[in-house]
Amino acid sequence: MTQAMAHADLYAARRARLAALLAQEGEGGVAIIPTAPERARNRDSDFPYRHDSYFYYLTGFTEPNAWLVLDATGRSTLFCQPKDLEREIWDGYRLGPDAAVAALGVNAAVSVAELDKQLPQLLENQHTVWYPFATHKGLETRVDAWLNAVRARVRFGAQCPALQRDVCGPLDDMRLIKDAHEQDVMRRASAISARAHIRAMQTSARMLRAGQDVREYHLDAELLHEFRLHGSQFPAYTSIVAAGANACVLHYRADAAPVRDGELVLIDAGCELDGYASDITRTFPANGKFTGPQRELYNLVLASQDAAVAATKAGARFTDPHDATVKVLAQGLLDLGLLNKTKHGNAQDVIEQRAYFAFYMHRTSHWLGMDVHDCGSYVEPSSQCETSTRKDPLSGETIINRPSRILREGMVLTIEPGLYVRPADDVPDAFWNIGIRIEDDAIVTSGGCELITRGVPVVADEIEALMRA
């Protein structure tokens, strides 16, 4: 039984909810949601296919070359590849329109070859056409062609949709709150990813103890093995395996650099399972034993994450975990001498001056779901018109602030503070070339948050014990 067949009622309920939103917001209308195209890698070879997240959210259907058309009454039509035994020998089995109605719970299913013929008919006499803006190259041109076909019939009494609206708006708000099924899949994805991180940690220590040459790609291979071994379809993003100074490059890609005894390794990696991402970062000593300066800096980052976790709960603002992180890091940077108290003052001065930015230059969180940087506004919808201005102390730019999103039960976000220390004259050399990030995935609950990625430890002593095994 396919994923879509097993949860057909779930996807049908999502389509019904979207249809109700279209009726409410757009005076009726039709939504057109395509899946992702297949993409060529090079001659006669394609990249591994991955469906469009919006399309999958509403259908559970993973085949390419498919479209969903949904009107405000709730009627859904799927356009998909027809059965073709000759092509299926080469490319794999197809569900086909005849089986799609029962399997997916849609009202009708038609060959995708009929798309250009039937879309004008489905758009005729509708008030609004909804489709995802700026996500599918060439989609606007196709919509224009379908609308022009409707306009060609106005002398016969046909009415053409007067408005075009972005369907990503209502879908983003729907996807932002994860239901029980989604949370379960993300917990399982997180468990797989946690095992992968443990495997990489232990491999690093074991190979170094044996005197073997260890490279970043060796650890990357361990991650990929564990992902696939436990049923993950893909990495959720290109894994970062960064040894030594490479950890100070935020989006470093796993390469051939050596993993050296006495250095730290930063791994930012997570698998995708049944369309949902996990996202974990751990930093560990390559040989399984932290040095004094490494442990000091690591414990500071961990303390800042603890503060962010405590700030993550329903009713808080999305920015609260970041503010909590920065408060701890600012004081710690002063205490460890990475920032000079004479020059920078106290922790509040460091925050106001953004002096911490030299060591911590990214935000603490992002949404997580079907996409590793998942959809959904970071501004509270009810407060979009409430603005204030501030002057950035580093760039001098005037920035417009809006109230950040209120966290609600079922939202999922990462919590990922870090510190990245590059050599500099005013920085103690004991901390040079140390990059540390600790990242966990959190489901917002009424009383706090559920960390679903703690299958791999974060406490320094526990990491060392794990790597001795």
Which residues are known to be catalytic?
44, 251, 268, 279, 362, 366, 373, 416, 420, 437, 439
How far apart (Å, rounded) are the C-alpha atoms in residues 360 and 240?
A: 18
Do 411 and 183 touch, CB atoms closer than 8 A?
no
The tokens for 395 are 């760039």
Residues contacting 331, CB < 8 A, separation 6+: 347
DSSP string, 330-365: HHHHHHTTSS-HHHH-SHHHHHHHTGGGGT--S-S-
3-state secondary structure of 76: strand
Residue appearing with tokens 């299926």: 88
Provide the angle, in degrees to the nearest 10, between the axes of the packed helices 292-310 and 320-335.
150
Do 204 and 435 touch, CB atoms closer than 8 A?
no
Residues contacting 286, CB < 8 A, separation 6+: 204, 205, 208, 214, 243, 259, 260, 261, 262, 263, 264, 265
According to the 3-state scheme, what is the secondary structure of 85-152?
Answer: HHHHHHHCCCCCHHHHHHHHCCCEEEEHHHHHHHHHHHHCCCCEEEECCCCCCCHHHHHHHHHHHHHC
Alpha-carbon torsion, ordered 44, 45, 46, 47, to 10 deg: -160
Do 49 and 64 touch, CB atoms closer than 8 A?
yes
3-state secondary structure of 77: strand
Lay out the sheet containing 264-269: strands in order across.
Answer: 240-243, 264-269, 280-285
Do 469 and 202 touch, CB atoms closer than 8 A?
yes
The number of beta carbons lying within 10 Å of the beta carbon of residue 403 is: 18
How far apart (Å, rounded) are the C-alpha atoms in residues 195 and 286?
A: 17
How far apart (Å, rounded) are the C-alpha atoms in residues 83 and 80?
A: 9
The phi-psi region of residue 440 (left if phi > 0; otherwise alpha if psi is between -120 and 50; otherwise beta) is beta
